[in-house]
Chain A
Amino acid sequence: MYGKKVKLRFLFLVLILFSVILSVFLILQSLKSNIVYFQSPSEIKSLIELDKKKIRVGGMVKKKSISINPDEINFVITDFKNEINVTFSGAVPNLFAEGKGVVVEGFLKDRNYFSATKILAKHDENYMPPEVKEALGVK
């Protein structure tokens, strides 16, 4: 009924469509499992269920809260309403200091303890991550 060429074209089209759908599906699937959400200490306090997934927490490093020993660094992140204790072992960016904004990435142990795997680098002293700004309500 149809020529060989038409059949071949049809096959080709189906193949393209199939691969496009497959790749979109793949991308969306892994996007779902690899997204890192950002939360403020207050949001964590009001969590009903603790998530086991990696999250980011941002706020200010509380004054006089940093303590260091050879294996790890402990400090408190605050959004001036609620606080969360953070333990971290790894490289610290230079702009990490008391009273400055910070974003950490890692896992929640419970509503008060956070184990960080990364402190995110920032590029200058005046810079405040937009997430932190929002969490602190600064405009």
Chain B
Amino acid sequence: MLANQIGYYSLILGLIFSIYLCVIAVKDFNNKIKKLNPNIITLSFLQLTFVIISFLSLIMSFIKSDFSNETVFNNSHTTKPLFYKIAGTWGNHEGSLLLWLLVLTLFIFLFLIKSREQPKKYRISTLLFQQLIIIGFFLFVLMTSNPFNYLFPIPSEGLGLNPILQDPALAIHPPLLYLGYVGSSIIFSASLAAVTQNYISKEWGQHIKKWVLISWVFLTIGIMLGSIWAYYELGWGGFWFWDPVENVSLMPWLTLTALLHCILVLEKRGALTSWVVILSITTFTLSMCGTFLVRSGILNSVHTFANDPARGIFILIFLFILIFLSLGIFFLFNKENNRDTNNFFWLSKESSILVNNWFMMYFLSVVLIGTVYPIFLDVISTEKISVGPPFYHKLITPFLAPFLLFMAFGPKLKWIKSKIENKSLLIIFLVISVTLTFLILKNITTDLLFYTILISAAFFLFFTTSKELFFKKFNNISQAIAHFGFSLFILSILFNGILSSEITTNIKVGERYNYKDGEIFFEKIEEKSQSNFNSIIGYFKVTNDKGKVVELNPEIRFYNQPIIITSEADIRTTLLEDRFLVMNIVKGNEFFNIRYQVKPFMLWIWISVLIISLGGLMSVSKKKI
């Protein structure tokens, strides 16, 4: 009860501080003193504190199972383990928005502390733009999704949390993803501020680069965690389904990656200024669109918590205001500085980065059209369609090979004007990659030519970046690590795709199922009961072609609050392959439906993403050269 009130009033206080901050900031903007009014930083800190208090009190309500709070009632239950009571705080619509707000205020506070060397007017403008977003979200939370609504009479029991969300990944996946999404808000505010102050320059590039990198790292890891979660929780045995909800997180990642590269051109050459601003605006807009699509209930998925049209309309209006505002500012204030934008030599680092950006924009438009077109068609006509993985595979894979080759060449080039060095070594690498690929693939795949080209390109990148990592004085180790990670990532995905095998069958307890490489023996089932679910555990012995036996114990859980059945896959992970078994039950039938999959190099997909992020992290911590 008390926590509830504290939470609500600190939210309102936070909003008041926002408005007060804007007033003080505008005053300070017009005054002649060179230093920033220290009160601004204090106020920003207070605002952050109030949002934190509000967030903590919501956590308290969840821990104490205070069902007088509507959010707690809708999403919690007394029998739920403590860990999920806490993590459940941001596993629902209201709580996750509060978290979003928390990250927004945290980032602007950090920005103010970390930008002391920057011009005052630029800092204040950034603060104002950011406060605009913050006020928008405060209003959104308070008006349409207040996490502190009262319920009376107080229910004795809550409705429980969707069991699919009852997973350790819930504790870290959303916060990390949000740090990435919301991190892009600072880039958005800062680039708009820089445009109005005519401050888009090499110095600005250097300063904003860290923020771009930080949100990029968080977004990368956040997406990866979501992918891992889907892999073991949804029981399909894949890690990416081209589901609209996944796509909306991929889109800002693509623009952020493009931004990450072209900010280097800005930093070193002072060129591509407008493009940097456009990318910053697009990244944040796409993050907001993602929130809109996921939260408004247009897309149906595990992320859709509630179908409330008012929320969708609010975000939509807010989104339009931000887009028009930012575009207006961009066209009014942006001055193309033509100092040295025109003389790009075709063979130089900057043109190779442009090539990267072109690829990114192509991938983005593929994902965007695939995601938006079905929604669009649904709105303008009654036709229901869906766009599946084949669409994306067909359009993306052919462009992957040249993309990988450019990734190998690009970083070797010098700024301004360059020529290719060590031609013979590169040719040797290319020959090795092609032969290696051909030898590996000869016996496995049917589509030999296609995969040979693709995998050779990936191997080529792998070799060139490895050489950079091991034999060269490290001039740009973070780049080499990230690109090396990417080559590993593509290789793991491709081999995983080609070599995966799968068996599905319906089987009774005690039966054996023989397939061409081995045997699956369904030994017995065991029933168990936990505080919030009962479960059936299956005991399976799988013998593979080498006669090796693996015991796998998948589980079917019957949650009592809410009543939902989930399948928990059992996955045996080794360095070389994952063995994945999931079983399902068909009501009123003695057959169990099982799916056994062998997925090679699964672990390496995750490891390579971590390596890519490590590259980003090292770049953040790098001192100025």
Q: Is B358 an interface residue (CB 8 A)?
A: yes
- Which residues of the other chain, B, contact A125 by a CB distance below 8 angstroms? 562-564
Min CB–CB distance A74 → chain B (angstroms): 11
Of A30-38, A79-87, A106-114, the segment with at least 4 beta carbons within 8 Å of chain B is A30-38
Nearest residue (CB) in A for B298 is A130
Q: Is B586 an interface residue (CB 8 A)?
A: yes
Is B390 a contact partner of A73 (Cβ separation < 8 A)?
Answer: no
> Digit string of A116-133 for contact with B (CB within 8 Å is 1, else 0)?
000001011101011100
* A35 touching B504 in the complex, CB below 8 Å, given contacts A123-B302, A124-B564, A125-B562: no
Partner of A121, one of B162, B236, B384, B564: B236
Q: Is B370 an interface residue (CB 8 A)?
A: yes
**Chain B positions 361-408 with a Cβ under 8 Å from a chain A Cβ:** 362, 365-366, 369-370, 373, 382-388, 390-391, 394-395
Is A94 a contact partner of B567 (Cβ separation < 8 A)?
Answer: yes
Is A98 a contact partner of B565 (Cβ separation < 8 A)?
Answer: no
Q: Is B120 an interface residue (CB 8 A)?
A: no
Nearest residue (CB) in B for A70 is B506
* A31 touching B506 in the complex, CB below 8 Å, given contacts A92-B586, A94-B556, A130-B300: no
- Which residues of the other chain, B, contact A37 by a CB distance below 8 angstroms? 383-385
Is A73 a contact partner of B387 (Cβ separation < 8 A)?
Answer: no
- Which residues of the other chain, B, contact A91 by a CB distance below 8 angstroms? 235-236, 504, 582, 584, 593-595
Q: Is B621 an interface residue (CB 8 A)?
A: no
Q: Is B591 an interface residue (CB 8 A)?
A: yes
- Which residues of the other chain, A, contact B366 by a CB distance below 8 angstroms? 27
Is A27 a contact partner of B369 (Cβ separation < 8 A)?
Answer: yes
Min CB–CB distance A75 → chain B (angstroms): 9
Partner of A71, one of B235, B302, B506, B556: B506
Q: Is B475 an interface residue (CB 8 A)?
A: no
- Which residues of the other chain, B, contact A71 by a CB distance below 8 angstroms? 505-506
Is B586 a contact partner of A31 (Cβ separation < 8 A)?
Answer: no
Q: Is A5 an interface residue (CB 8 A)?
A: yes
Is B504 a contact partner of A90 (Cβ separation < 8 A)?
Answer: yes
> Digit string of B550-566 for contact with A (CB within 8 Å is 1, else 0)?
00000010000011111
Q: Is B234 an interface residue (CB 8 A)?
A: yes
Nearest residue (CB) in B for A36 is B386
- Which residues of the other chain, A, contact B390 by a CB distance below 8 angstroms? 34
- Which residues of the other chain, B, contact A97 by a CB distance below 8 angstroms? 586-587
Q: Is A95 an interface residue (CB 8 A)?
A: yes
Is A30 a contact partner of B395 (Cβ separation < 8 A)?
Answer: yes
- Which residues of the other chain, B, contact A69 by a CB distance below 8 angstroms? 506, 591
Min CB–CB distance B515 → chain A (angstroms): 12
Rounded to whole angstroms, the CA-CA distance of A23 and B365 in the bound complex is: 9
Q: Is B589 an interface residue (CB 8 A)?
A: yes
Is B394 a contact partner of A30 (Cβ separation < 8 A)?
Answer: yes
> Digit string of B205-249 for contact with A (CB within 8 Å is 1, else 0)?
000000000000000000000000000001110000000000000
- Which residues of the other chain, A, contact B566 by a CB distance below 8 angstroms? 94
Dominant secondary structure of chain B at its interface with chain A? mixed
Q: Is A42 an interface residue (CB 8 A)?
A: no
> Digit string of B185-211 for contact with A (CB within 8 Å is 1, else 0)?
000000000000000000000000000
Q: Is B74 an interface residue (CB 8 A)?
A: no
Partner of A93, one of B302, B394, B584: B584
Min CB–CB distance B127 → chain A (angstroms): 37
Nearest residue (CB) in A for B596 is A91
> Digit string of B83-122 for contact with A (CB within 8 Å is 1, else 0)?
0000000000000000000000000000000000000000
Min CB–CB distance A83 → chain B (angstroms): 19
Nearest residue (CB) in B for A72 is B506
Rounded to whole angstroms, the CA-CA distance of A96 and B585 in the bound complex is: 9
Is A34 a contact partner of B302 (Cβ separation < 8 A)?
Answer: no
Q: Is B342 an interface residue (CB 8 A)?
A: yes
Is A56 a contact partner of B386 (Cβ separation < 8 A)?
Answer: yes
Nearest residue (CB) in A for B369 is A27
Rounded to whole angstroms, the CA-CA distance of A19 and B233 in the bound complex is: 41
- Which residues of the other chain, A, contact B384 by a CB distance below 8 angstroms? 37-38, 56, 130-131, 134
Min CB–CB distance A111 → chain B (angstroms): 20
- Which residues of the other chain, B, contact A73 by a CB distance below 8 angstroms? 506, 586, 593
Nearest residue (CB) in A for B163 is A124
Nearest residue (CB) in B for A24 is B365
Q: Is B441 an interface residue (CB 8 A)?
A: no
- Which residues of the other chain, A, contact B594 by a CB distance below 8 angstroms? 91
Rounded to whole angstroms, the CA-CA distance of A72 and B116 in the bound complex is: 67
Nearest residue (CB) in A for B557 is A94
Is A31 a contact partner of B584 (Cβ separation < 8 A)?
Answer: no
Rounded to whole angstroms, the CA-CA distance of A124 and B302 in the bound complex is: 9
> Digit string of B160-188 for contact with A (CB within 8 Å is 1, else 0)?
00101000000000000000000000000
Q: Is A14 an interface residue (CB 8 A)?
A: no
- Which residues of the other chain, B, contact A26 by a CB distance below 8 angstroms? 395
Given contacts A35-B385, A91-B584, A94-B556, 20 further A-B contacts (CB under 8 A): A27-B365, A34-B387, A36-B386, A37-B383, A38-B385, A68-B506, A68-B591, A70-B505, A70-B591, A73-B593, A91-B235, A91-B236, A91-B504, A92-B586, A96-B584, A121-B235, A123-B162, A123-B164, A131-B384, A134-B384
The 3 closest A-B pairs by CB, nearest first: A38-B384, A34-B391, A91-B595
Interface positions of B (Cβ within 8 A of A): 162, 164, 234-236, 300-302, 342, 358, 362, 365-366, 369-370, 373, 382-388, 390-391, 394-395, 504-507, 513, 556, 562-567, 582, 584-589, 591, 593-595
